[in-house]
């Protein structure tokens, strides 16, 4: 997922299911994008995609309430990534990550849905190119919803 998708999907969820507060929304969006800063580390989907980052952050948020929505955003990010690849939940102790692949098959008038757990390893650091074309409409929709919610 790209940063626009990681920001937009949680923002839309927050605006849909809560009484919106601008500070909470900002912290939620920042948390939902933050784990991808590990792209600057040796491997993407590494330290910041691990429970060894999320659990201490969640515990710290019990002492610092403003950090709570940031931690929820990080958890949301990990969940989204688990649907778009693998997440090494125990990194650096274990590099292997897991995800969930949902498969929808349509044939004639029948639809079947199945799921399977996938596994793999973090991607080594390489040059990255972001293609944002498909995300721009989602980002614009999200921006419109944010403006509407707070105007």
Is the residue at 151 inside a domain?
no
Instruction: Report pLDDT for 129.
Output: 73
Residue 48 counted as domain residue:
yes
Q: 């849909």: which residue's tokens?
A: 16
Backbone angles phi, psi at 42, to 5 degrees: -60, -40
pLDDT tens readout for residues 83-110: 988 999 999 899 999 999 999 999 999 9
Provide the domain count of the chain. Answer: 1
Does 150 reside within a domain? no
Domain for residue 120, yes or no?
yes
Is 90 within a domain?
A: yes
**Phi/psi-derived region of residue 127, left when phi > 0, alpha when psi is between -120 and 50, beta in every other case:** beta
Which residues of the chain are modeled with pLDDT < 50?
none
Domain contains 7: yes
Q: What's residue 1's pLDDT?
A: 83
Q: Is residue 109 part of a domain?
A: yes
Decide if 150 contacts 22 (C-beta within 8 A): yes
Whole-number pLDDT of residue 101:
94
| Six token digits for residue 89 | 């939940």
Token pair recorded at residue 132? 């944002």
Q: CA–CA separation, 94 vs 25, rounded Å?
A: 33
Query: C-alpha 6: how far from its chain's center?
Result: 5
Domain that holds residue 104: 3-144
- Whether residue 41 is contained in a domain is answered as yes
Burial class (CB in 10 A: 0-12, 13-18, 19+), 145: middle
**Cα radius of gyration (the chain):** 17
């Amino acid at each position: 997922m790209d940063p626009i998708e990681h920001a937009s999907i949680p923002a839309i969820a927050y605006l849909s299911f809560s009484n919106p507060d601008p500070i909470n929304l900002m912290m939620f969006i920042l948390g939902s994008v933050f784990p991808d800063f590990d792209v600057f580390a040796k491997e993407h989907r590494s330290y910041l995609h691990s429970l060894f980052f999320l659990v201490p952050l969640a515990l710290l948020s019990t002492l610092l309430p403003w950090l709570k929505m940031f931690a929820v955003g990080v958890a949301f990010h990990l969940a989204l990534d688990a649907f778009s690849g693998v997440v090494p939940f125990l990194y650096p102790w274990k590099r292997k990550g897991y995800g969930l692949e949902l498969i929808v098959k349509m044939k004639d008038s029948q639809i079947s849905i199945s799921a399977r757990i996938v596994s793999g390893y973090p991607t080594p650091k390489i040059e990255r190119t972001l293609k944002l074309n498909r995300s721009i409409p989602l980002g614009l929709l999200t921006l419109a919803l944010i403006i509407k919610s707070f105007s």
